Chain A
Amino acid sequence: MSAGLSKVAVRLPGRVESVDDILARQGCGPRERRVFTTLHGLRHSPTLAAGERTEDLLVQAGRAALGGRSAALVLYGHTLQLADPEMCGAFRDRLRDRLGLPGSGFYGVSHINCTSVLRSLELARRYLARPGAGPDERVLVLGGDQGSHHDRSRVIPGLTVAGDAVVAVLVQGPGGTDRPRYRYLGGAVARDARFHRNLRMTRQESAAFAETAGAATVETVRRAAHAAGVDLDQIDWVMPHLANRTLWRGFSRLSGFAWNRICLDLIPERGHNFGTDALMALEHADRTRRVRPGDRCALVSVGQGAYFQTVIVEVVDDE
């Protein structure tokens, strides 16, 4: 028996911005902007409309994932740092109240950049597998950031532009009574602290990171597959970190994993949305029936710093 995941709830903000416009505001020249659109395949970035708040999107996504059920614990995976009072006080309490979970535990998962949401899934699974856990206990995992708060927080030079979409998923333990949509099979994590300077990296460090990230991503996905009891060639789909298409061309080349089994459909219209990407790709693939019951999917995230996280799930039979 293993942990189960609900369907993924995605909430998009009310407008999109052109990646080209965002980069132009940051002072990027035409040639650099063309790299993002032509090579990386990035066109649009979901952006909060006037008066919209990330908190509202998190509440909507969380309620959808809960579907009227309760959760003993809420884990909020985020890339951007929140002020301590927000995580310990008003924001936390408002969110719990609005989710109908006033007595539940609430923790932020951060400082691992865009791997924070998949790490939250892993932490939820471990929490629910602890000795003495009740069969009906659940953990609500929330993810997403307000990248549009400031352009400097949403642009990673040469790599990607991040948007404001959010996700939520409900996790139950091995003895859970809900019918899950996905079954957890295994996972793997890696870290390479040489790149801890993050957005302050030099051009040479950024280039080294780009080269290292490809091999480290492949290695992490392979280890996750092995943890799930299979080889990489027995994985049906990669649900990728949607930073750009270039990263995944490298992944396909290095690993031999079929290019057309990496679900990159969302790159042009949504692009990268911090730690939400892999779950958003899974939701898209499921909704559009690209995945079938029994398919094994590798959810993959990569964080500046650098951090790597993969979770393998299997699509459960339709009722």
Chain B
Amino acid sequence: MDRTAIVAQLQISLSEVLNREVAALREDQRLFEDLALDSTSVIELLMSLEDTVGLEVDPDDLEPEVFQTVGTLVDYVAASFAKTAAA
């Protein structure tokens, strides 16, 4: 799954979690400040990504930096896929 596809899936999952239509995402958008996620909805977002794209979340890898921006979250998802593929 390339970066563009991850961003597109993120948009779908965010719309579902926030229960509103989320416009096209930019990688510099901040999850909490710009997109109004909170600590609960961030977790729901991860669960949604597990369900839709087969992301496997390892809770011990989840540093707060992951949730800074759309771009950092995409980095995390891409790295998780790479880790799974290498295993």
Contact = CB atoms under 8 A, between A and B. Distances in A.
Contacts of B59: 38-39, 41, 245-246, 249
A31 B57 contact: no
Contacts of B62: 249
B57 A253 contact: no
B55 to A, nearest CB: 12
Contact of B51 (A31, A32, A210): A31
Contact of B63 (A41, A203, A204, A253): A253
Contacts of B60: 249
B39 to A, nearest CB: 5
* Residues of B contacting A: mostly: helix
Interface residues of B, number: 17
B63 to A, nearest CB: 7
Interface string B33-50: 000001111011011101
B64 A207 contact: no
B50 A206 contact: no
B39 A211 contact: yes
Contact of A207 (B40, B47, B57): B40
* Residues of A contacting B: mostly: helix
B72 to A, nearest CB: 15
B45 to A, nearest CB: 11
A35 B42 CA distance: 11
A210 B39 CA distance: 7
A245 B43 CA distance: 13
Interface string A287-316: 000000000000000000000000000000
A126 interface: no
B38 to A, nearest CB: 4
Nearest to B44: A31
Contacts of A207: 38-41
Interface in A239-287: 245-246, 249, 253
A175 interface: no
A253 B46 CA distance: 20
A35 B57 CA distance: 11
A159 B62 CA distance: 17
A211 B42 CA distance: 12
Contacts of B40: 158, 203, 206-207, 210
Contacts of B43: 35, 39, 158, 246
Contact of B47 (A31, A210, A245): A31
A208 B41 CA distance: 12
Contacts of B39: 207, 210-211
Among A39, A41, A204, the most chain B Cβ lie within 10 Å of the Cβ of A39
Interface string A21-39: 0000000000110110011
B19 to A, nearest CB: 11
B63 A39 contact: no
A71 B52 CA distance: 59
Nearest to A33: B47
Among B41, B51, B57, B59, the most chain A Cβ lie within 10 Å of the Cβ of B59
12 contacts: A34-B50, A35-B47, A38-B57, A158-B43, A203-B40, A207-B40, A208-B38, A211-B39, A249-B59, A249-B60, A249-B62, A253-B64
Interface of B: 38-41, 43-44, 46-48, 50-51, 57, 59-60, 62-64
- The 10 A-B pairs with the shortest beta carbon distances in the complex, nearest first, are A207-B38, A31-B47, A210-B39, A207-B40, A39-B59, A207-B39, A35-B43, A158-B40, A211-B39, A34-B47
